């Protein structure tokens, strides 16, 4: 293993994120080459957590852009503070109103509302930019992102061009509700985040929910793995495993049996059709035979 990858893995582990070899390699390469990192994977496998952990490791600022349908430049990049501009105009005296510098002053930095992408360009390499659930944004926004990610500069007509001296680390996540354009993917390094192996998942659970009996953790992880083997519409992710362990712990139990599992099933199975499959098989899911 290259030393850089090993170091990054250790650093991530120190802040509570257990990355496997593939993810650590992808993050290391992204960081060193200055390329955006695109993470795809099932829901609840810790895609967003990667960005947060990297932020802590690198001691940078996390700038997060949550994508949604219809997100546009004004919500993602910058917007003028219209209310303040209006007030300013009303407050101006007659001569000031006609002075030539009035209009430029209305489009000065104090009227500019910084949105996440502009903040990230300004912060440069002192930030980690997390573009979360990019698949929820529409095609137009994706095209705009493509431009931004290629040269990290933004031109604001009234002010000029803002450029990042050295680009921030960009992490994009997608739940694959739709396929992203190949052009965007080609700008990025790609990593598919799968479910961790049982042993690693147990470590993750014990790290994330300290104070849990290892035996309980082991049983829950085994049960969740059996759930994933069932033909479910929404197989539980790592986040659900952690939730389940915590729920059982809150109820004061140290063991997982069919009764407790039935009471706490809402923490892992969140779909009615899936419940119909799981409930009859619960004994087998919990006991493993």
Report the interface residues with other proteins, using CB under 8 A.
1-2, 4-5, 21-22, 25-26, 28-30, 32-33, 35, 40, 68-70, 72, 74, 80, 82, 85-86, 89-90, 92, 97, 103, 106, 138-140, 175-179, 182, 185-186, 189-192, 231, 233-234, 273
Residue 280 Cβ, how far from other proteins at the closest point, in Å?
A: 16
- Pair 130, 112: CB distance under 8 Å: no
Comparing CB distances to other proteins, the nearer of 30 and 127 is 30
Residue 248 Cβ, how far from other proteins at the closest point, in Å?
A: 27
Residue 282 Cβ, how far from other proteins at the closest point, in Å?
A: 21
241: three-class secondary structure by DSSP = helix
Residue 249 Cβ, how far from other proteins at the closest point, in Å?
A: 30
Comparing CB distances to other proteins, the nearer of 149 and 245 is 149
Region of 238 please: left (phi>0), alpha (psi -120 to 50) or beta: alpha
Tokens of 107: 């489009």
What's the CA dihedral at 276, 281, 285, 288 to 10 degrees? Answer: -170
Residue 256 Cβ, how far from other proteins at the closest point, in Å?
A: 27
The helix-helix angle for 47-58 and 21-33 (nearest 10°) equals 50
Tokens of 66: 């949550």
Comparing CB distances to other proteins, the nearer of 57 and 193 is 193
Q: Which of 62, 42, 43 is nearest to 52 (CA)?
A: 62
Comparing CB distances to other proteins, the nearer of 35 and 122 is 35
| Site of tokens 């000031």 | 96
């Amino acid at each position: 293993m290259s030393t850089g990858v090993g170091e990054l893995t250790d650093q991530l582990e120190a802040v509570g994120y257990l990355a496997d070899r593939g993810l650590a390699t992808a993050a290391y390469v992204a960081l060193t080459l200055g390329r955006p990192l695109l993470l795809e994977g099932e829901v609840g496998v810790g895609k967003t957590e990667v960005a947060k952990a990297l932020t802590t490791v690198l001691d940078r600022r996390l700038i997060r852009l949550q994508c949604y349908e219809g997100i546009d430049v004004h919500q993602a990049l910058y917007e003028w503070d219209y209310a303040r501009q209006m007030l300013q105009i009303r407050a101006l005296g007659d001569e000031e109103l006609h002075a030539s510098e009035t209009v430029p002053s209305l489009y000065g930095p104090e009227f500019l509302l910084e949105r996440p992408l502009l903040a990230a360009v300004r912060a440069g390499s002192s930030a980690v930019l997390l573009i979360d659930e990019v698949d929820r944004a529409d095609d137009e926004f994706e095209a705009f992102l493509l431009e931004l990610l290629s040269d990290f500069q933004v031109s604001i007509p009234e002010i000029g061009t803002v450029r990042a001296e050295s680009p921030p680390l960009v992490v994009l996540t997608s739940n694959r509700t739709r396929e992203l354009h190949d052009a965007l993917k080609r700008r990025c390094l790609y990593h598919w985040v799968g479910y961790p192996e049982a042993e690693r998942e147990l470590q993750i659970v014990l790290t994330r929910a300290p104070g849990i009996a290892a035996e309980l953790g082991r049983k829950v992880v085994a049960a969740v793995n059996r759930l994933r083997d069932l033909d479910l519409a929404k197989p539980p992710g790592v986040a659900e495993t952690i939730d389940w362990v915590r729920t059982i712990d809150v109820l004061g139990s140290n063991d997982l049996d069919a009764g407790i599992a039935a009471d706490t099933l809402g923490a892992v199975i969140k779909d009615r059709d899936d419940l119909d499959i799981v409930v009859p098989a619960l004994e087998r899911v919990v006991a493993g035979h």
